[in-house]
A = this chain, B = another copy of it.
Amino acid sequence: MGATKSEHFTDEQNQLAILTKALGHPARIAIIQYLLKVNTCICGDIVNELPLSQPTVSQHLKELKNAGLIKGNVEGNAICYCINEIGFAKIKGLFTQVDLHLEKTKNECC
């Protein structure tokens, strides 16, 4: 074994897992934070910001893009990456539910 049994879960569960899994690496968190910091599209200096090789960074960018957390547009011979709000909006739903739950229960159990 070793393969996730995604066919046994709902589409929503698989979607949320894909999104959160894509965030689940410090390099990819760093990429998102960098995109937030520069507050505008950046066109290729992410490699210089990270302690990883160019192919590795490219791979992380691809994963974030596939998951729907960033967008990448060709801009000359560089590429402009930026936050994809759609992906983040989907995750946000889960956190809203957590907040509602905590308000309701005040987490008085454990």
Q: Give every chain B residue within 8 A of A104 (Cβ-Cβ).
A: 39
- Of the candidates A13, A82, A91, A97, the one having the most CB atoms from chain B within 10 angstroms of its own CB is A13
| A46 touches B (CB below 8 Å) | no
A91: B residues at CB distance < 8 A: 95
Give the shortest distance, in Å, between A100 (CB) and chain B (any CB).
Answer: 8
Q: Which of A10-27 contact B (CB under 8 A)?
A: 10, 13-14, 16-18, 20-27
Nearest CB in chain B: distance from A22 CB, A: 8
Copies in the complex: 2
Residues in B whose Cβ lies below 8 Å from that of A22: 24
The A interface is mostly helix, strand or loop, or mixed, namely helix
Report how many residues on chain A are interfacial, defined by Cβ distance under 8 Å. 53
Docked complex Cα distance between A79 and B9 (Å): 24
Q: Is the CB of B17 within 8 A of A21?
A: no
- On chain B, the residues within 8 Å of A73 by CB distance are 110
Q: For the complex of A and B, list the 6 residue pairs with the smallest distance between their C-beta atoms, beginning with the closest.
A: A21-B24, A9-B26, A20-B23, A8-B51, A41-B109, A13-B26
